[in-house]
Homo-oligomer: A and B are copies of this chain.
Amino acid sequence: MNDIEEISNALLNFRNERDWKQFHNPKDLAIAISIEAGELLEAFLWKPAEDAKKDKIEEELADIFSFAFLLAHEKGLNVKQIILNKIERNREKYPVEKAKGTAKKYNEL
């Protein structure tokens, strides 16, 4: 069993023991990701990046990943595949010769 299957199984077990599938419709899972993304930002508010507490980042990042894996599961998406696909599309939007060393968006390159 690979890593991602192992993570998904652990998350699904935890959820099923608590009978929480009923709450996990895709819209609420997307809302949950946004909430956790906001809590991650809290680690960095009013301070430079290096002053953020690592354990807070770790905790909120774990929550973001958890809801993202659950949403991928609900929608039948293969996480590795969708990321590799997106990288391929980004290769076209951000060709190395244009995008190297600049943070501009593809439509401004």
Contact = CB atoms under 8 A, between A and B. Distances in A.
Interface residues of A, number: 71
Task: Give the oligomeric copy count.
Answer: 4
A35 B25 contact: no
Contacts of A79: 3, 7, 65
Interface of A: 2-4, 6-7, 10-11, 14, 17-20, 22-23, 25-28, 30-49, 52, 54, 57-59, 61-66, 68-69, 71-72, 75, 77, 79-80, 82-87, 90-91, 94, 96, 99-101, 103
10 contacts: A3-B4, A3-B80, A7-B83, A11-B83, A17-B96, A18-B101, A19-B100, A34-B34, A58-B77, A69-B83
